[in-house]
Structure 1
Amino acid sequence: MDVRRAAERYPGGEAAAGISSRHAFSFGPHYDPDNLRFGAMIACNEERLAPGAGFDEHPHSHTEIVTWVVEGELTHRDSTGHETRVRAGDVQRLSSAAGVRHVERNDAATPLTFVQTWLAPLSPGGEPAYEIVPGIADSTPYAVPEAGTLLHVRRLGAGERTAVPDAEWVYVHVVRGEVRLGEETLGAGDAARISAAKDIEAVGITAVELLMWEMSG
């Protein structure tokens, strides 16, 4: 188990434009050849957008992009014609495939926080695809078969416990709260990269929300 603390994330964004980013993996000017990916995961970014702030139209390709809104409302527009509002508890996935362009903005009057994960597909190319699962239920896995992954969202009360998936790679991100993971204690923004996970439990120290990525070989 490799624990990475919130304070260790690479800073990014543009404060003057109301954008604050924290990157878990090598990103942009923060190049680290020893931190390029874990399993299928190539990015896990915490993004904070002030009201009216956002990312102008930009391209993606050969990446599965999964977004979890923590608070606020995300406006998404892409070059395939989708225009949606993504709210807290919704899962959004953009399969960029051979190429797509999109815009991400906070058009609401309140701050927006979201966690965005980029996954490498098993096979490159194909046609772009998009979907939203509104209000995903606790412990209901969300499959991204294009990347051979499953997302498990878990919300635990203090003292409640859940099994960490047994898998070749598991990435656990703490959205909010505090949790004991094996022998480690993690807080909001912390993450654990677990190789060959087996018989590990997560126990809520406080009320906690977890994103657990199960990745096969």
Structure 2
Amino acid sequence: MKLVIFDVDGTLVDSQAHIVLSMAAAFEAVDLPVPDRNTILSIVGLSLPLAMRELARAVDETTLVRMVEAYKDAFYTHRLAQGAAASPLYPGAEEAVRRLGARDDLYLAIATGKSRRGLTALLDGWEFADLFVTTQSADDHPSKPHPSMVMTCLMDTGVTATEAVVIGDTTYDMEMARAARCHGIGVSWGYHGREALIGAGAATVLDDFGQLEGALKTIWKD
């Protein structure tokens, strides 16, 4: 058996507007200037406390905790108001997951910097969510690029690292894959650029989900 591990934000779903809105609320809650959009999106993939620290390095821990809670509150409120529209699937994402999920030689998994609550809310809206045999969130692991989430996926499925691939849009995903001794495939529609993904160890970078199965075949051709 082989294993395909998907990142979520920037890979399966386009949540950038939701993230930017929530991060703006976090900074406004403590009367700090809001970072620009590109700066905010550059930290997507890290667990929330670490991402917040990257964006607000000068604040004390008490303020940081307030910002994290303000982000969570805004994210939750926006999700309730918008439903699935807050984090729509990218074109071709559902079809690609369903095609892979129908194969008898693959397991599918998720490794995300989202909280468990956020991930559960997202999965509850996906009719294909049961295709993922194991899902790992930031609540239970060190932040990416630490390999803990991938290692847990490997243990849960019994698949060896060489037979596993991480698919993600950030350098954190590719570095996580490399740290776990897995393959990494980048996607160009997310939050980090093609050159950065290749530099972080991506075997290839997809321009659309239609290229995914061909990329997997190339990686596992031996």
TM bucket normalised to smaller: under 0.3
Q: Which has the higher helix share?
A: 2
**TM-score w.r.t. structure 2 length?**
0.27
**TM-score w.r.t. structure 1 length?**
0.27
